[in-house]
Structure 1
Amino acid sequence: MLDLWSLRVLLEVGRHGSFSAAAEALSMTQPAVSRQIATLERRTGVRLFHRRPRGVQPTEAGLAAMEQAAAVVDGMSLFETRLRAFAAAESGRVRVAAFPSAATRFVPESFRRFTATHPDVELSLTVGERGDARLLEGAIDVALVTSWDADPDPGLETLFLFDDEPMVALPADHPLASQEQVRLADLAAEHWIDGTHPDCLGPSAELSAAMGGPPKITHLCDDWNGRQGLVAAGVGVMLYPSIAGRSVRSDIRLAHPSPALPARRISAAVLPADGRPPAVSAYLDVLRAMSAAYGRTAPTSRLP
């Protein structure tokens, strides 16, 4: 079998037209270069160079060999470059699964920040599907999950990001819309809008206790924009996760509920570190860096 170094020697001899010049370029001795070419000719069974008084000249077989050798050497260089890029998180892909409210601002912002430092890594997003099983199947790389979900598979690692405070979303012309804090008891007669788990009313026991009875759910809407539209139109109110607070419509007002409702913990589920591509680890670093701006950086059961 021919080795890569022999092919490099072949190319340098052909480019310089001289054993001695090729030897200088490769930091070898002239006899060593001559032996490499002689060995190649013996193994292939063809003469690769005409020996001339003032150097060497490729034969037709030598020209064909140089063409093939260049493809092999260039291919190996590309192979090494691409692997180094993966190892340095400069290449590869990161496939993210998220729930709808996380996709309104948090995930797009994380993509913007990540792309600024890793422009050659391919990013993709899937919204609305739980990602645990797909992580184990290798179909995605990061799944954003909440504490309202079932515990992730024990074969996965869960990295806490922040606690997400539930707010109350009111139409801008609601009588209570100007208040920073709204008593839940004052919303007992309101129509409520519910949505897809985990962007829903969540554990309802605390909400029901604070209002003196269960919420009157009259609208079910899975679409995030549709739910905001219903609130803006004045047909109902809803709980609004703080993770989506920066993307709230201008005709909606957010208020802190009183008493405060339990926060949900936002985490990233991923494969263990020993099976995690470098680009995924780099993306997790971006999520951690963003977390302080979106919620508490230590888990709590209730936000003030």
Structure 2
Amino acid sequence: MLDPRRLLTLRAVVRAGSMTAAAAELGYTPSAVSQQVAALERETATPLLVRHARGVLPTEAGALLVEHADVVANRLARAAEEVADLTALRAGRLRLASFASAGARLLPSAIGAFRRRHPAVRLSLELREPDECPDLLRDGDLDLAITFGYVPGPGLDTEGLTATFLSDDVVNVALPAGDPALEGTFTPTDEIDVSTLRDAAWIRDAGSLCREQLVDMCATAGFTPNIAFDSDDFPMVSGLVESGVGVALVPDLAVHQMGRRVVLRRLRPRVVRRIEALTLPHPTPATAAMLDVLRSRRAT
């Protein structure tokens, strides 16, 4: 394959009309320019320039190579412009993923702020369970994912990824009014010990992390949960709880989806979802810019 640097040197010589003029334009010595052209002639096994008293002219082969060198130069200039646009966020894309409650509560305002700052960047968002996201990031199918893990409790395999803490999302238990576990609690700040829920029927979240968390939490309290239904649709969960079907774990991010007749209480011991933004270790400019937006909103 021909050396593109030598092609560009030949192009400069033909455009300038002499080795000396091309050397001044390129910032090389005339000897270095002459050596580059000679090496290209050896590569192509044919003369590329005709020397005369006032400078040089291309041979037929030399003129042909200069035409291709023009294409190379134009593509390199275009590449430099496109990289500059990406770096300055005048172009590019950002592929986001999030679990449902964060997608509904955290990301809309962040995406709005990002679009106002960088309107030329193409954005996409898809809903994904947290445990799906690490492999999608590693495979290059996502740029940034909003995920969570439980503290204490199950988390994600984030090897090879960078996790940026966004917030803690406290988990509540949702109960129907009059549930036996509410006896002795009088205010919304009263906590319910997990052990008092051993006889409850549970409406379990369908996500794998949430399923594992429920089992671990109940096992620590000395019992196995009795699962009545599986659902990750919080309005449906609210309706089931209100109807007295069972109790459910509801994080703060989803509390707004609970009906007025659902009673919410903190758990003892406390259960927290730690919300993080996962990225590759060297994020794209658009990804880094979204992280800045997310961090700034976290600070407020």
Instruction: Give the structure-2-normalised TM-score.
Output: 0.60
User: Are residue 222 (structure 1) and residue 254 (structure 2) matched?
Assistant: no
Residues 182 and 255 in structure 1, CA contact (< 8 A), matched pair in contact too: no
The equivalent residue for 2:135 is 134
Q: Distance in 2 between matches of 1:258 and 1:79?
A: 55
Aligned pairs, number: 273
| DSSP 3-state at the match of 1:131 | helix
The equivalent residue for 1:151 is 155
Q: Distance in 2 between matches of 1:166 and 1:151?
A: 15
Q: Distance in 2 between matches of 1:79 and 1:253?
A: 60
Cα 1:199–1:107 shift into 2, 3 Å: farther
The equivalent residue for 1:288 is 295
The equivalent residue for 1:125 is 126
Matched residue type, 1:70 = D
Matched residue type, 1:161 = L
The equivalent residue for 1:262 is 270
Residues 163 and 263 in structure 1, CA contact (< 8 A), matched pair in contact too: no
User: Are residue 100 (structure 1) and residue 100 (structure 2) matched?
Assistant: yes
Q: Please give the per-residue CA displacement for 1:83-122, whole angstroms capped at 9, x wherever unaligned.
A: 7888889887665543221121313444444453595476
Matched residue type, 1:163 = D
Residues 89 and 120 in structure 2, CA contact (< 8 A), matched pair in contact too: no
Q: Please give the per-residue CA displacement for 1:274-302, whole angstroms capped at 9, x wherever unaligned.
A: x6122355544443333345xxxxxxxxx
Q: Distance in 2 between matches of 1:85 and 1:32?
A: 34
Cα 1:152–1:199 shift into 2, 3 Å: closer
Cα 1:151–1:193 shift into 2, 3 Å: closer
Cα 1:64–1:220 shift into 2, 3 Å: same
Residues 171 and 273 in structure 2, CA contact (< 8 A), matched pair in contact too: no
Cα 1:33–1:99 shift into 2, 3 Å: closer
Q: Please give the per-residue CA displacement for 1:116-170, whole angstroms capped at 9, x wherever unaligned.
A: 3595476543423513662685365545113175233373565433221346889
Residues 130 and 143 in structure 1, CA contact (< 8 A), matched pair in contact too: no
Residues 100 and 199 in structure 1, CA contact (< 8 A), matched pair in contact too: no
Q: Distance in 2 between matches of 1:224 and 1:250?
A: 7
Q: Distance in 2 between matches of 1:27 and 1:154?
A: 48
Residues 183 and 257 in structure 1, CA contact (< 8 A), matched pair in contact too: yes
| DSSP 3-state at the match of 2:13 | helix
Instruction: Give the structure-1-normalised TM-score.
Output: 0.59
Residues 193 and 219 in structure 1, CA contact (< 8 A), matched pair in contact too: yes
| DSSP 3-state at the match of 2:206 | coil
User: Are residue 241 (structure 1) and residue 251 (structure 2) matched?
Assistant: yes
Structure 1: runs of 5 or more not aligned: 171-179, 209-214, 294-304
**Aligned sequence identity (%):** 30
Matched residue type, 2:156 = P
| DSSP 3-state at the match of 2:131 | coil
Structure 1 range deviating more: 2-11 or 91-100: 91-100
Q: Please give the per-residue CA displacement for 1:13-70, whole angstroms capped at 9, x wherever unaligned.
A: 2333444443332234556545543443344232323445555443332222012223
Report the RMSD for the aligned CA atoms in angstroms.
5.3
Residues 194 and 220 in structure 1, CA contact (< 8 A), matched pair in contact too: yes
| DSSP 3-state at the match of 2:71 | helix
